[in-house]
């Protein structure tokens, strides 16, 4: 396409000024996306830098007490909340997602797959505030309290479960795409040697599709880290480092919502802290996405 | 011979049994997601269906659950949809046309492409912080409808660009070559031939992007949407609420009555989403075939 563009445009552009005007305005549209990135970086880092003039970076990054009222901004307590929920979510979405992908790609008939896959993807299209509602009115009272009666209404187990359900379709769908891209001849070769379907799935298809599967898992982690509403509603607002799945934790995103939804005044330390958290979050997801893209490029098997 | 390939010493019947068992396990794993979806819909419908009547749609928010309704947030969501479309659709399609039809293959173009892919993966709450810092504060737009609309527009922009590019790429090269051979300028070829062929795909992508935007809560909350407005917004600088914001406000309250109201509002939101997805499917099937 671009070859045609470069061979015809010198003439047409000279003949018709309109052509050049249109081309320029289309270019401006494309450049606007760069402006968005610049805007994100500027708006996050400007306030983050002024925040770090008041609070030292090392006490922010290594402190384990997040208590803004007491002037203590140790981000690890919130990072812990984010990571433990992400970990729990991946315990659900990882195995279930990959198993679903194997079923859809290797076992299901085309008719079943054409119904099940889009239905599963509906889960990913449901607004996350609805998942928060689901955690509060179904998962905690009906599921968790039947296992452990003393479960608090806000707890990280329910947050993990709903975030896991939310990213399950992403993992399943992308892994399934990767498995279906494995050429038929590899499977046929293994069948010819007398392998069962299970063995073909686990020993041939799974390794061959590994780069795509890992990328889907990393994307799932990145989604879980940035997830906001479900964890704000389900996990509550108590920053603490605890392993007890029935107790409340606070994530980075939940704290941002709490402060931005409240009445913290512009320029206050609390207000600055949400931008410092936003920068931390932004860098975390950026690294995850970068790793995911590298992984696909580096380990993709070419057939 | 068959056993030689399988290192286990199990006989054929055991292996067949193992295979059946595995099939059952994989199927069970798949059904977990489906059952969860069913349980979610069941919970919402059983709690929320009784809420939906005309007063619920037309009333304002209230401290008394029986009188509470969703009129201002429903209108807010509809206004947001219109504004987000007006901003993100032209810019997104323009960017896609540039990248697919005009852009030279150089480093700058691939930088833009990488940038768009990265933007699509940025968590939505970060866009909320962008809206708060730029539209709310620097531009002084405050807690207004336009702040929310611009924030959401930036959020869906990468989605619209990616979808529109895919639609443009699906138009056969012969369409372009034919137009150019007949003496059309490049823009004429794009505007009169390529775009009409790509419009169904572009529309489908845009509607799906928009349906993501209207379910978003976090960016609006951070960029200053109000949970309670006593009036419906009638200009761009008015305060506003939106359905997801109202749902969040009700979900947070401990009383069961408000939980039921939340379920009712969720049903309305899901109905809006479902309608939009249905329109996307109809557009794709109806206009996709004529090509």
Q: For residue A86, what pLDDT band results from cuts at 50, 70 and 90?
A: very high
Q: What is the DSSP letter of B49?
A: G
Q: Which two tokens stand for residue A85?
A: 């929920």
User: Taking CB atoms and an 8 Å limit, are B37 and A46 in contact across chains?
Assistant: no
pLDDT band, residue B288 (cuts 50/70/90): low
Q: Which residue of B has its CA nearest to A115?
A: B34
- Say yes or no for a CB contact (<8 Å) between A103 and B29: yes
Report the residue of chain A nearest B97, measured CA to CA: A26
* Domain B56-288: assigned CATH number: 1.10.3720.10
From the list A220, A54, A256, the residue with the least C-alpha distance to B131 is: A256
Q: CA nearest B24 in A: which residue?
A: A103
Cα pseudo-dihedral B37, B41, B42, B47, rounded to 10: 150
The mean per-residue pLDDT over the stretch A80-105 comes to 95
Kindly indicate the confidence band of residue A121, based on its pLDDT and cuts at 50, 70 and 90: confident
What percentage of chain A exceeds 90 in pLDDT?
A: 44
pLDDT tens profile B83-92: 999 999 999 9
The confidence score (pLDDT) of residue B144 equals 86
β-partners of residue A72 are: A67
pLDDT band at B12 (very low <50, low <70, confident <90, very high): low
Instruction: Write the CB contacts of B63 (distance below 8 Å, at least 6 apart in sequence).
Output: none
pLDDT level of residue A25 (50, 70, 90 thresholds): very high
Could you identify the residue written with the tokens 């039921």? B260
CA gap A7, A5 in Å, rounded: 6
Q: Tell me what pLDDT residue B108 has.
A: 85
Residue A301: is its pLDDT beyond 70? no
Distance between CA atoms of residues A102 and A107, nearest Å:
7
Question: Which residue in B126, B215, B222 is closest to A40 by CB distance?
Answer: B126
* A32 contacts B91? CB cut-off 8 A: yes
Over residues A124-132, the mean pLDDT reads 92
Q: What's the per-residue H, E or C state across chain A?
A: CHHHHHHHHHHHHHHCHHHHHHHHHHHHHHHHHHHHHHHHHHHHHHHHHHHHHHCCHHHHHHCCCEEHHHCEECCHHHHHHHHHHHHHHHHHHHHHHHHHHHHHHHHCCHHHHHHHHHHHHHHHHCCHHHHHHHHHHHHHHHHHHHHCCCCCCCCHHHHHHHHHHHHHHHHHHHHHHHHHCCCHHHHHHHHHCCCCHHHHHHHHHHHHCHHHHHHHHHHHHHHHHHCCHHHHHHHCCCCCCCCCCCCCCCCHHHHHHHHHHCCCCCCCHHHHHHHHHHHHHHHHHHHHHHHHHHHHHHHCCCC
**What is the pLDDT confidence band of residue A104, given thresholds at 50, 70 and 90?**
very high
Q: Given CB atoms, is B248 within the 8 Å cutoff of chain A?
A: yes
Q: What angle do CA A80, A86, A90 make, to 5 degrees?
A: 145
Contacts of B4 in chain A (CB under 8 A): 194
Q: Does B125 touch chain A (CB under 8 A)?
A: yes
Domains delineated in chain A = 2-54 (no CATH), 66-299 (1.10.3720.10)
Q: What pLDDT does residue A300 have? A: 64
| Pair type for strands A66-67 and A72-73 | antiparallel
Q: Which residues of B touch A225 (CB under 8 A)?
A: 123
Q: Is the CB of B212 inside 8 Å of chain A's CB atoms?
A: yes
Q: How confident is the model at residue A2 (pLDDT cuts 50, 70, 90)?
A: very low
How confident is residue B289, by pLDDT bands cut at 50, 70 and 90?
Answer: low
């Amino acid at each position: 396409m671009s070859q045609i563009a470069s061979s015809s445009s010198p003439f047409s552009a000279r003949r018709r000024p309109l052509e050049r005007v249109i081309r320029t305005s289309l270019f401006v549209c494309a450049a606007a996306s760069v402006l968005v990135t610049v805007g994100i970086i500027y708006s996050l880092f400007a306030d983050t830098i002024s925040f770090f003039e008041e609070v030292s970076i090392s006490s922010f990054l290594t402190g384990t007490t997040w208590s803004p009222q007491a002037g203590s901004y140790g981000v690890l307590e919130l990072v812990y909340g984010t990571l433990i929920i992400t970990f729990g979510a991946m315990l659900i979405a990882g195995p279930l997602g990959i198993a679903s992908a194997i079923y859809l790609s290797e076992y299901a008939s085309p008719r079943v797959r054409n119904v099940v896959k889009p239905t599963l993807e509906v889960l990913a299209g449901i607004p996350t505030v609805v998942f928060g509602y689901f955690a509060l009115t179904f998962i905690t009272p009906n599921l968790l309290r039947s296992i452990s009666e003393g479960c608090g209404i806000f707890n990280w187990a329910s947050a993990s479960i709903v975030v896991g359900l939310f990213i399950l379709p992403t993992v399943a769908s992308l892994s399934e795409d990767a498995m279906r891209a494995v050429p038929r001849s590899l499977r046929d070769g293994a069948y010819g040697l007398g392998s069962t379907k299970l063995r073909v799935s686990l020993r041939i298809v799974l390794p061959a599709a590994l780069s795509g599967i890992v990328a889907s898992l990393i994307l799932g982690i990145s989604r879980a880290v940035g997830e906001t509403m479900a964890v704000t509603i389900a996990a509550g607002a108590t920053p603490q480092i605890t392993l007890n799945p029935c107790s409340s934790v606070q994530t980075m995103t939940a704290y941002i919502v709490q402060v931005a939804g409240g009445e913290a005044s512009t320029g206050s330390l609390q207000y600055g802290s949400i931008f410092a958290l936003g920068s931390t979050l932004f860098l975390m997801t950026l690294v995850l996405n970068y790793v995911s893209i590298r992984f696909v490029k580096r380990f993709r098997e070419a057939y | 011979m068959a056993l030689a390939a399988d290192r286990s010493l199990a006989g054929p019947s055991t292996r067949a049994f193992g295979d059946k068992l595995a099939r059952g396990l994989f199927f069970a794993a798949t059904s977990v997601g489906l059952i969860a979806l069913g349980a979610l819909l069941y919970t919402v419908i059983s709690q929320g269906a009784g809420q939906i009547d005309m007063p619920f749609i037309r009333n304002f928010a209230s401290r008394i659950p029986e009188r509470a309704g969703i009129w201002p947030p429903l209108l807010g969501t509809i206004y947001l949809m219109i504004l987000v479309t007006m901003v993100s659709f032209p810019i997104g399609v323009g960017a896609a046309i540039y990248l697919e039809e005009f852009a030279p293959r150089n480093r700058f173009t691939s930088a833009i492409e990488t940038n768009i892919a990265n933007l699509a993966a940025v968590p939505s709450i970060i866009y909320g912080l962008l809206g708060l810092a730029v539209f709310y504060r620097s531009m002084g737009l405050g807690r207004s409808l336009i702040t929310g609309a611009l924030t959401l527009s930036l959020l869906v922009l990468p989605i619209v660009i990616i979808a529109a590019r895919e639609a443009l790429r699906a138009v056969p090269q012969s369409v372009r070559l034919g137009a150019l051979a007949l003496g059309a300028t490049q823009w004429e070829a794009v505007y009169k031939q390529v775009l009409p062929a790509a419009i169904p795909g572009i529309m489908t992508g845009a509607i799906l992007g928009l349906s993501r935007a209207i379910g978003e809560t976090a960016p609006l909350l951070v960029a200053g949407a109000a949970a309670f407005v006593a009036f419906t917004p009638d200009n761009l600088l008015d305060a506003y609420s939106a359905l997801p914001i109202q749902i969040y406000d009700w979900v947070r309250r401990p009383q069961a009555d408000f939980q039921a109201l939340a379920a009712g509002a969720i049903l309305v939101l899901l109905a809006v989403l479902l309608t939009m997805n249905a329109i996307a499917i109809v557009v794709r099937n109806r206009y996709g075939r004529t090509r």
